Structure 1
C-alpha cells in the first residue's frame, strides 16, 4: 500500500491540465508524466516506494497514491530494477485506468511472472506489452520509438523517444553514454531530453551490507557527453534527488555544458514541477 505525502493534488493537476503541446511533470527519482494537447497521458518509470533502508533510503516525498490516477493510456518502464518496475507503484495505475504496460522482456517478467500483477492487483493479461529496441508503438497522439540504452547494471534496458506534433521527448532510463547515441542524435530532433544524474557514493552492498563505492548514474561529464551526442535542445537531469548518499546538485551542470553546442539549455526541476514542450 502506497501512502502519499501530498494527497491527490498532483494527479488532479495532471487530469485537469489542458496543455498547449506536451506537458511533462517530474515525479522524482526517474518518474515522469507526459500529457498531450488531446489528452493522451503517459507515465514513465513512476516509483512511489521508499527503497530498502538502510541500503537505499528515499530522500523525497511520495507525491501521490497510484489509486488516485484516473487517466492513463500507458505506463512505460525502461528496465527491470525496482525503482523502475514496481507493483505497488504501477499496477494500481493499470488496474484503475486499463492502461497498457510497455516494457522490455526482463521488465515484463518481473511484473507478470515474479510479482504477478494480474493476480495481486487485478491487472489483465493483455495489459502487458513487451517491446524491444527498434520497435515503434502508437499511443494516442504519441509515436513512441524504443531505442538502445547503456546501463551495465540492468539486464535489458531501453530508452524511449516520444514524438508528438509539438515536439520530441527522450527518456533514457538510467543510461550512461553510448556509442549509438551520436546516430540517434542525427535521427531525432529532441526538444527535451531526460538523463539520470548522481554522485558516486558509499552504499551498503546488497549481500554483505558493507558500504561499497557505488556509481549508478551519470556523473557531470557523462551526462553532458550523452546529451551532446543526442543533440538535446534541453537537458532535464533526473534521479539526483532520490537516494541518500547519491544525491547531487544539478545546477553544477551549467558549467559542464557551457562549451558544448548541445544541450542548448539546462532545465533543473524538482519533484512535482511541470515543464512544457510546445515546438516554439
Structure 2
C-alpha cells in the first residue's frame, strides 16, 4: 500500500476547494488534478510510486495516499509508462470513487491485463475506457479532445486538450516536438500548456544496469519549441523534479523563451502548488 509523506492535506485541499473557474494542482512528475466551478474533478497521470531504485530514484515526496481520494470523476493517462499508468497509484482512486479511467489502447491493456486492476482492486472492466486521437470526451463541465503526441519511447502516447468556460488547458504527457502542434495551436486557443522538461543524464540500463546516456524529456530548447508551435499563453514545465540524474531548473527557461512571441509567460510550479486557468 502506498503511504504519503504529506498525510491527506493535499486531497482535502482539492476536495474542499470551490474554484472560480478551473484550479489545477501539480502532483509532481507529470501528475495534475483539475477541478472546475461545478466540482468536476479530473486526475491526469497521477503517479505515487517510488520508481525502481537505483535505476529510477524518486526525488520528491509522495503527495497523497490514493486510498484517501474520495472525489474524482475521471483519471486520464497519456501513455503506458509506469509513471503514467500505475495500478497502486490509480486503481484505488477508481475503486473509491467509481471514476472512469481513460487512456489509449496500450495503457488500458497494461491496466487490464498486465497489472490486472479488475482482479487486484475493486475496479470493473467498464471503468477502463480506451480513447484514440480525434475523439472528444464530455466529462462534467469539461470538453476533452484527444490529440496526437510524439514520444518515441512510448508505444501509443496521446495528448489532451481540456476546454472549459474559464479557458483551455493542454497536457502533452512526455511528448517531444511534432508538426501536429502547429495544427493544434491553430485549432484551439490554449491558455496553459504542460510539457515534460528535463536534462540528459546517466541512468542505469534496464537490463544491464550499466550507466547509459538517457534523454526522456524535452531539453530547454525543445520545450520552448513545443510551446511556441502551440502558441500557448502560459507554459508550465513538468517532470523536471522527479528522477535523480534527470532533474532540471525550470527557471532557466525564462532565458530560452525571452525572444519568442509564445509562450507569453512561464508558470513555474512545485509539487503541491495550485495554479488557476
User: Scaled by the length of structure 1, what TM-score is found?
Assistant: 0.99
SS of the counterpart of 1:194? strand
SS of the counterpart of 2:199? coil
- Partner of 2:155 in structure 1? 155
- Partner of 1:115 in structure 2? 115
Offset, 1:239: 0.1
- Partner of 1:196 in structure 2? 196
Q: Distance in 1 between matches of 2:250 and 2:194?
A: 12
- Partner of 1:178 in structure 2? 178
Tell me which stretches of 4 or more aligned residues in structure 1 moved more than 3 Å: none
- Partner of 1:5 in structure 2? 5
Q: Distance in 2 between matches of 1:9 and 1:23?
A: 16
Matched, 1:101 2:108: no
Q: Distance in 1 between matches of 2:231 and 2:117?
A: 38
Offset, 1:187: 0.4
* Number of residue pairs aligned between Structure 1 and Structure 2: 277
What stretches of structure 2 of length at least 5 have no aligned partner?
Answer: none
SS of the counterpart of 2:216? coil
Offset, 1:76: 0.2
- Partner of 1:74 in structure 2? 74
- Partner of 2:257 in structure 1? 257
SS of the counterpart of 1:24? strand
Offset, 1:193: 0.3
Matched, 1:87 2:87: yes
Q: Indicate the RMSD between aligned Cα atoms, in angstroms.
A: 0.3
Offset, 1:228: 0.3
- Partner of 1:187 in structure 2? 187
Offset, 1:244: 0.1
- Partner of 1:31 in structure 2? 31
Offset, 1:14: 0.1
Offset, 1:210: 0.2
Offset, 1:169: 0.4
- Partner of 1:270 in structure 2? 270
SS of the counterpart of 2:94? helix
